[in-house]
Structure 1
Amino acid sequence: MNERRVRVRALAWFCAPLLAASLALTGCRTGETSGADWPNFGGDGSEQHYSPLKEISLKNVSELKLAWHFDLEPGFSVSPPVVADGKLFITTGHSYIRAFEADTGRLLWEYDAKTREIAQSPLHMSWGNKGIAYWNGRVIVATTDGRVIGLDANNGKPVWEQRQFGLDELRNSNGAPRVFDGKVIIGHGGADISPARGYVTAYDAMTGKQLWRFYTVPGDPSKPATSKAEQIMRPTWKGDWYGKGGGGTAWNAFSYDPELDLIYIGVGNGFPYNQQLRSPGGGDNLFLASIVAVHADTGEYAWHYQVCPAEQWDCTAVMDMTLADLKIGGKTRKVLIQAPKNGFLYVLDRQTGELLSAEPFAKVTWAQRIDLKTGRPVENPGIRYEKTKGMFELWPGPQGAHSWLPQAFSPRSGLVYIPVMEMGALIGPAPPGATGIFGASGATVIADADLPGSRRSFLKAIDPATQKQAWSVELPGDWPGGVLATGGDLVFQGQIDGQFVARDARSGKVVWSFKTDAPVVAPPISYRANGKQYVTVLTGSGSQGGGILATGNAAWRTDYRLPRRVLTFSLDGKDQLPPFEAPALTPPEDPTFRPEAQQMKAGAMAYATSACLVCHGMNAIGGGAAPDLRFSPLIVDQAAFREVVKNGALKPAGMPPSPQLSDEQVESIRYYLRGRAKQAPAEIEAVAGGAVVKGADAGGQPVPGM
């Protein structure tokens, strides 16, 4: 143990009796908070999404009322706030930061990272950022265009700024940064569309100085390996792969154990998806789809565990990693718990990476089981799609059984609460002659396939020590919100139907609900201000569930025009929301247009392969990430549509330009949208005053590479 660490831990012992509530803010080394503040995405380094506060409990949650609210602009609003020093901080859209008084909601300052002005690629403007972090008077922001910024928490002014990748690179950064022991930990995305070499970077939270960088896939094999991680990775990539294959982007999940001095990295998928193209000689392709532990001070490799060796189904391990101490086999073990995309719940020894258990928590067809002796999956035959003759059914599909919306763990109940998606996909090799970014992936995927039992979601409570399910409840739609557990034996979660609910942590029974006028998918948080417990959540749909996976939510009103707000609750709240009536869903007038089947099919493919569906939804069914184009007046104005789509006329509003599209492609997309507008009235029947819709089309078209 180095001298600095001895001094810091001694200081922590001295500070503890007086400053327990502010250890994470003063620089005393800790991975935990008292519950007064919420400085990181998951609360603290354990990523439990658990608040020990219990003023709001099963006994009195029925008295929970709105304390204050703040109206937000349309846009991305699915991130949790952070709280420290009596202030609540949020991020919306493309890194637009606001600070409020945590108890009153009074706006203190605003900061716009101006991503929409700086970004030079549609990738830099996809969705938005999923969170921020706080450390010792700094609010830490990571922009989608590759900047990491430290703001003064008192006034919102930038103190430092670093760029982690160039504007000309096919990378983006929309995951929440974390700050562990004064180190900003941040990764990036981009492996769905390019063989970008993934890495994670640590910066000093106070100065912005880069401290270390850890690469998740190997570099140039012609050069000497300079690290233990490189020596481990290289033999697992085979054939003529360098420059053609890569990936391993760590765009979301990080955890931290201060006692072990380890940071845990959740690593993503490879590119191309087709492993024969990515690594022609085979191999496990480390560290794709892996959990990697590194030493916090140096970024040096400690251990790894791979959930999908030789992954080729967008099988990522970027979901949250919960740290807990569990009694297993009569012995208390320090464990890491992850429910990644592949449908198995993993419990690992977080000191060594040893696999302790792995059992399915959703429908799984890609593997029979996980062999506890080898730690490897026992794959079912026929799921290596390059060896098949066509499309086949895969559960979970590339969207996963659990996405980035976090699970929670309660030390009181011993249960982990997982927002689960039951969604299958059809997947197969890319068709002959496939071109472009998606064709380069070597795969064709119907990610939102219309399969029996698909497009469903659940909240499942599982005992990770025994892998036994305690309870399960089915939720509306297929995009379940993030979860918060509290010391009051409550589990809070938003729903796609516009309800924010609290459940009994041990039974799953709803004990309180609040009608929000909009979907809620953001993870809630809880904190204490002026001696009182509060619960805060942001409303609004977005991310994958508001875009490419929106068809499963089409029975509920989720569109872009529903109110996005900050909602804060307390036991003595006296605020009220103003009356709201959702505007009518009315397609633009286009009386002479008569869609023709072949042109519609061509337009649908252009819409899909141009990635319009990422934000505007499969089959142009918008789910709230961006406007529903079936109801946009722009689609009947050829010149205006071209200016927006190709030339970026609405870039200041968040719509990136696509200059690479030909005029013919743009017109083909517009034709398809006009046809979808004609079909919309027959698909959608408004009920309940326009708050809910039902009967929307649920079909899907094959999308190369998606």
Structure 2
Amino acid sequence: MTLLLAPAALCGCSLAGGGQAGDAGAGDDWPYRGGDVQGSHFSRLTDIDKGNVGRLGLAWSHDLGTNRVQEATPIVVDGVMYTSGNLGRVYALDAATGAPLWTFEPEVDMQANRAACCDQANRGVAVSRGKVLVGTLDGWLYALDAKTGKVAWKADTITDRTRGYTITGAPEVAGDVVVIGNAGAEYDVRGYVTAYRLSDGGQAWRFFTVPRDPKLGPQETPELEQAVGTWDANSRWDIGGGGSVWDAINYDPRFGTVYIGVGNGGPYSVGTRSPGGGDNLYLSSIVALDAKTGRMKWHYQETPQDGWDYTATQPMVLADIEVDGARRPVILHAPKNGFLFVIDRETGKPLRINPLVRTSWTDGYDLKTGRPRMNPKGSDYWNDGPKIVFPGSPGARNWYPPAYDPGRNLYYAAVLDMGNLMFVPPSDGTPDTRRPKALNIRTSLIFTPDLEAALPTLPPPVQEQVKKLREWQWVKEKPYSSEIRAIDPLTGKARWSVSAEGWQDRMGMLATQSGLLFHGTIGGKLVVRDADNGKLLKEIDTGSSIMAAPMTYRVKGVQYVAVATGFGGGGWAYVPRYSAAYSHGNANRILVFRLDGGPVAKPDPLPPLEVAAAPPPPLPGATPATIAKGQGLFFANCAICHANQLRSATPDLRRMEPGTHQAFRQIVLEGLLLPNGMPRWDDLLSPADADAIHAWLIDEQGRLRARELKLKAEGKPLDAPSLAILSNF
């Protein structure tokens, strides 16, 4: 690891955070990633208001030195800003000036990139009792001295390093412990969360979210004995079951409870994962755990029998609202599955369940039982063949934080109404075995806006079925809508809504008591709206894509608004043409604003594209069958990172230079570029497999070069399309 320390790092700070209850909404400090212990992303500060927000300008900025995903919201305590970057980097900055105090660069095993479905994301730090807590992509939890950045302790959170575990979420301090989950449900993992003692990093407790194979003997806990009966005894235990807790961990000091949101199953298809069906507890559930012991208090499964990647790992808000004439402590939660839930924090009973988007997997919930009314005709792709399912796997809501204003009783959130085609790829006759540290989804996904582009790449029998499915009214009339909404949590109805730039324009929210709503856009704008009606009040073009939630704080009487910039996350390799990352590069910065600040310096536009280099001659012995095999292997193993698209964070492999072609086997099989983040694949791919992928890429490069030479001759821009979006997992 590398630790960069500036002299100013010797400043003192009390760092009194770590799970103390307070009024809803942050004040001068922003001591939690959600601002307050409730996770509301709401501020009581009112210095910046509707009357003066037009004067907002840049106070300072800090270059994070990277060009990947930024999803964290900074924390500010006693005039010091702490924030994380991709992989688990940590930055400590003077919150008034931006002067760097220290930077922590962890030593990360870059082979972990192979098990990172959704980029090198890190969603933030926790700060408590003189320590800054952060998880790294390769599964280590670090406690850093808040004054110096030096490592106080580190803990290995991974139970089995032969499997595809990573960390992308933020730790949560719960009294004397810090709780962290792992990502990896798309790979070959069995989910869990672990609590470590804040004092020394020793393990306090661990809660598994998925049972183990009953053939191994009794389950580790009574909770798992309860769960195992909801799984087929012949489930794909070898793959792990999924259920990773990659985000959505909240501590409730009032009840001494840790609430966790549990992820999707692996493989996606229930017919593959648990052939006999069953609810498959505790997938896609909220589980309430005793903070001291880790024992379960209650659970509520938002999506029983999940087969659609409907994780419950989306951010929760703890609130006290009036329901049916009584004020109740509740969780406000909008998971991927298309509904907004109001759940009693004491009992786990759902009090309200309202749809936010179109849903084809269910026509609603029975509030008495809390169970959905399933619609297998609209969603059972594992038995009935390809289906277009609403909402799609990106979710009606995802990781990007909402904001909740308790005074207005409004829940502000970005909402995506989009479906995706889902089908189990035809078998090629090979045995279906676990692929270690690799995708084990066994399901193909194509989002509704991409159906036409992907159609020619589908297997012929699937093509014919999809041609009929695309005539569905939902698909033809509105393949998607992406909106920012102010939602009444008890009805799910929008008080107001405005359209976002595109379906990938996902963004976090900040609401303030002065009636402002802040958010970014991946087009590069910091936007300020009237929280009462959505009216645009201020827009600042930063030239950098913004997805992370802004935050606000006050130092020495001056209120600041801060946000991190950087595109990435799910679908990170497909950079939208309307994004600032596409036109200006993916600059990672912390931008901080104040009244009467200055302009923002935009990154320089990216240079025009050059015609693809001439490919080498075809590989010896390469046949059309070899090339077809290479295409299948590419989409099964490579496409999730290498979209082969302009402006992506990873190289367009249709533009390889001669040296890269010459070293292709060494790169893929021997880890030649492992320090750059390219993992090795020799455990899954043979030399013949690598050659087949290479043969297909050579063929693709020839096609691309011919197309671009023609465009150049016609005087047209070289705006080459990406490969069709087809993920044969």
Look up the SS of the partner of 1:527 in the other structure.
Answer: strand
- What is the identity, as a one-letter code, of the residue corresponding to 1:337? L
Counterparts in 2 of 1:186-265, with a 5 A limit? Answer: 186-194=180-188, 196-221=189-214, 223-224=217-218, 227-241=221-235, 243-244=237-238, 246-265=241-260
Aligned match of 2:596: 572
Q: 1:238 to 1:621 in 2, by over 3 A?
A: same
Give the corresponding residue for 2:501.
Answer: 476
CA distance in 1, matches of 2:480, 2:664: 32
Candidates 18, 34, 41, aligned match of 1:42: 34
State the Cα distance separating 1:134 from its structure 2 match: 1.0
> Structure 1 residue aligned with 2:673, among 641, 650, 662?
650
Letter in 1 for 2:200: T
Alignment of 1:11-50 (within 5 A): 24-25=16-17, 34-50=26-42
1:369 aligns with 2:364: yes
Q: 1-side partners of 2:62 and 2:710: how far apart? A: 31
Paired position in structure 1 for 2:540: 514
Does the aligned pair in 1 maintain the 2:18–2:129 contact within 8 Å? yes
Give distance in 2, aligned partners of 1:105 and 1:49: 22
**Aligned 8 A contact 1:266 1:292 in 2:** yes
- What's the CA shift string for 1:172-219, capped at 9, x where partnerless? 11111122324211101222121x221111112232122111111223
How far 1:538 sits from its partner (Å)? 1.2
Could you tell me how far apart the structure 2 residues matched to 1:153 and 1:389 are? 55
1:343-362 alignment runs, 5 A limit: 343-362=338-357
Q: How far apart, in 2, do the equivalents of 1:675 and 1:52 lie?
A: 59
Is 1:341 the counterpart of 2:336? The answer is yes
Q: Distance in 1 between matches of 2:161 and 2:699?
A: 36
**What is the alpha-carbon distance in structure 1 between the residues aligned to residue 197 and residue 259 of structure 2?**
18
Work out whether 1:173 is the aligned partner of 2:196.
no
The answer (yes or no) to whether the contact 1:543–1:615 under 8 Å persists in 2 is: no
1:211-259 deviation digits (Å, cap 9, x = unpaired): 1111112235363456442242122123223734522111111112211
> CA distance change for structure 1 residues 527 and 22 in 2, over 3 Å: closer, same or farther?
farther
Given residue 605 of structure 2, which amino acid in structure 1 is its aligned partner?
Answer: E
Q: Secondary structure at the match of 2:570?
A: helix
Partner of 2:524: 498
Say if 1:395 and 1:621 are closer, same or farther in 2 by CA, change over 3 A.
Answer: farther
Q: CA deviation at 1:590?
A: 1.6
Aligned AA (2:42):
Y
Separation (CA, whole Å) in 2 of partners of 1:197 and 1:51: 37
Match of 1:52 in 2: 44
Is residue 322 of structure 1 aligned with residue 317 of structure 2? yes
The structure-2 alpha-carbon separation of the partners of 1:54 and 1:675, relative to structure 1 and needing over 3 Å to count, comes to: farther
CA deviations 1:40-77 (Å, max 9, x no partner) are: 32223312122221211111111111000112322232
Match of 2:61 in 1: 69
Matches within 5 A, 1:546-625: 546-547=572-573, 550=574, 553-559=576-582, 561-574=585-598, 576-577=600-601, 580-590=604-614, 602-610=629-637, 612-617=638-643, 620-621=644-645, 624=648
Structure 2 CA distance, aligned partners of 1:476 and 1:587?
29
Alignment of 1:108-507 (within 5 A): 108-116=101-109, 119=111, 122-123=114-115, 126-165=119-158, 166-194=160-188, 196-221=189-214, 223-224=217-218, 227-241=221-235, 243-244=237-238, 246-383=241-378, 385=380, 388-432=383-427, 433=429, 437=435, 441-447=441-447, 449-450=450-451, 452=476, 453-454=478-479, 456-479=481-504, 480-507=506-533
**Aligned mates of 1:564, 1:631 — CA distance in 2:** 26
CA offsets, 1:575-625, max 9 Å, x none? Answer: 642662222233432278899997765444322211x332333xx23665x
Amino acid at match of 1:443: T
SS in structure 2 opposite 1:615? coil
The corresponding residue for 2:685 is: 661
Equivalence for 2:457 = none
Distance (whole Å) between structure 1 residues aligned to residue 322 and residue 502 of structure 2 = 35
Q: CA deviation at 1:544?
A: 1.0
Matches within 5 A, 1:76-91: 76-91=69-84
Instruction: In structure 2, give the amino acid aligned to 1:588.
Output: A
In the alignment, structure 1 residue 539 sits paired with structure 2 residue 565:
yes
* Number of the residue aligned with 1:638: 661
Q: Offset at 1:653?
A: 2.6
1:94 aligned counterpart, secondary structure: helix
Q: Secondary structure at the residue paired with 1:534?
A: strand
Aligned partners of 1:241, 1:631: CA distance in 2, in Å? 40
Change (3 A) 1:519 1:306: same
Residue 418 of structure 1 deviates from its aligned partner by: 1.6
Which residue of structure 1 lines up, in the alignment, with residue 459 of structure 2?
none
CA contact (8 A) 2:587 2:603 kept: no
Cα distance between partner residues in 2 of 1:88 and 1:486: 19
Cα distance change, pair 227–599 in 1 and its aligned pair in 2 (3 A):
closer
- Counterpart contact for 1:497–1:557, Cα < 8 Å: yes
Q: Which moved more, 1:433-442 or 1:416-425?
A: 433-442
CA contact (8 A) 1:439 1:704 kept: no
Q: Which amino acid aligns with 2:634?
A: Y
The 1:61–1:292 alpha-carbon spacing in structure 2 relative to 1, beyond 3 Å, is same
Q: 1:627 aligns with which of 631, 647, 650?
A: 650
Q: C-alpha separation between the residues in 2 aligned to 1:325 and 1:500?
A: 30
| Structure 1 gap ranges (5+) | 1-20, 687-692
Report percent identity of matched pairs.
36
2:229 is paired with a residue whose SS is helix
Q: Are 1:201 and 1:214, in contact at CA under 8 Å, matched by a contact in 2?
A: yes
TM-score w.r.t. the length of structure 1 is 0.87
Instruction: Write the letter of the residue equivalent to 2:152.
Output: V
Unaligned runs of 5+ in 2: 1-12, 452-474, 712-716
Report the number of matched residues: 670
Pair 1:73–1:279, CA change in 2 (3 A): closer
What letter is aligned with 1:446?
I
Farther-moved stretch of structure 1 (504-513 vs 277-286): 277-286
Relative to structure 1, the CA distance from residue 613 to residue 518 in structure 2 (aligned partners, 3 Å threshold; closer, same or farther) is farther
Equivalent in the alignment of 1:14: none
Shift in Å, 1:520: 0.9
Contact 2:654 2:698 in 1 (8 A): no
The 10-residue stretch of structure 1 (513-522 or 448-457) with the greater mean CA deviation from structure 2: 448-457
State the AA in 1 paired with 2:446.
I
Calculate the aligned-residue CA RMSD, in Å.
Answer: 3.1
Give the alignment's TM-score, normalised by structure 2: 0.85
Query: Which residue of 2 is the match for residue 10 of structure 1?
Result: none
In 1, Cα distance between equivalents of 2:222 and 2:709 = 57
The answer to whether the 8 A contact 1:66-1:570 is kept is yes
Over residues 242-283 of structure 1, what are the superposed CA-to-partner deviations in whole Å (9 max), with x where a residue is unaligned?
A: 734522111111112211221110001112222233223322
